Amino acid sequence: MSRETGPSAQIVRVLADELAGLPSGTRVASEAEVGQRFGVGRAAARAALGELERRMLVSRIQGLGTFTRRRVDYLVAPGRAPSWSRTLREAGASPRTVVLACDAVPLPADVATALEVAPGTRGFRLVRRSHIDQMPAAWGVEWLAADLVPELPAALRVEESLDTILRETAGVRPERAWTRASVEPAPEEASDGLGCRPGDPAWLMASLARDGAGGRPLLSTERWVRADAVRVVLELGDGRDA
């Protein structure tokens, strides 16, 4: 263990230690600065910084520089509220969500089945991107029947949280009924929405929320979540164990 394969491995270790204590968004030395400091060429310095990015310790932005980044914990477990906004706020982050599209359309067959309504029922197709500390972190499509919140577009201009809108306007209590999650290299469609490069690891999460009172399906979502922005933790259990 701890084999040295070259100078850059040592640089990675030194920089990773130094970064450990810094707040999120702090500027990190540029490739040229790292090269001068450790007496290596640009390629070695670049390899070291690239390794830090692969380990999700920094983000590198062309034209801007390299910055420390934190991963926010996002616990998904039965019985927990399905709200992205609230979950992240409780974790100390400042989530922002922007609406990219909010179209009233007939629900496609598979969505209608999941929402337990007749195919072709009017609904909303919502495409949104969520940011954490100004960085894109999640992107995806959400579907819901139109009769739940007929004035959804107007409501979204006032309140970002779909969970809150459903509670206060539709008078329902959304609960996580079903979720499927995995990690995939982001396809181009997703990396565009996430502002990352194709192939970067990302969570693909599909879920269905039901009304706590009555059990009516409320919301069907399929979202991509950047793995370098959110540490998704999934918990399956009978509740007896910590």
Partner DNA sequence: CAGTGGTCTAGACCACGGG
Partner DNA sequence: CCGTGGTCTAGACCACTGG
Residue 54 binds which entry of a second copy, DNA, none, CB below 5-8 Å type-dependent: a second copy
Instruction: Give pairs for 85-91: CB < 8 Å, separation 24+.
Output: 85/160, 85/161, 85/163, 85/164, 86/161, 86/163, 88/132
32 is an interface residue for DNA by CB under 7 A: yes
111: partner contacted, choices DNA, a second copy, none (Cβ within 5-8 A by kind): none
Residue 60 binding DNA, by CB under 7 A: yes
Q: What is the largest CA-CA distance in the chain?
A: 68
Q: Which stretch binds DNA (CB under 7 A): 34-42, 76-84, 94-102, 121-129?
A: 34-42
Query: With binding defined as CB under 7 A, does residue 126 bind DNA?
Result: no
Left, alpha or beta for 206 (phi > 0: left; psi -120 to 50: alpha)?
beta
Four-residue CA torsion sign, 80, 82, 83, 84: positive
Q: Which residues bind a second copy (CB under 8 A)?
A: 1-2, 51, 54-56, 76-78, 114, 176-185, 188, 192, 199, 201, 203, 208, 227, 231-238, 240-241
**Which of the listed partners (DNA, a second copy, none) does 185 bind, with a CB threshold of 5 to 8 Å by partner kind?**
a second copy
Shortest distance, CB of residue 62 to a second copy, whole angstroms?
10
Measured CA to CA, the distance from residue 21 to residue 134 in angstroms comes to 21
The binder of 47, among DNA, a second copy, none, by C-beta within 5 to 8 A per type, is DNA
> Which of a second copy, DNA, none does residue 196 bind to, with CB < 5 to 8 Å depending on kind?
none
Closest to DNA by CB, 166 vs 194, is: 194
**Least distance to DNA from the beta carbon of 59, Å?**
9
If phi > 0 it is left, if psi is from -120 to 50 it is alpha, else beta; for residue 154 that is: alpha
Contact status, residue 181 vs residue 205, Cβ threshold 8 Å: yes
Q: Which is nearer to a second copy, 100 or 178 (CB)?
A: 178
C-alpha to C-alpha distance for 165 and 159, rounded to whole angstroms = 7
Cβ neighbours of residue 198 under 8 Å, at least 6 residues apart? 185, 186, 187, 188, 191
Tell me which residues touch DNA (CB under 7 A).
Answer: 5-9, 28, 30-33, 39-47, 49-50, 60-66
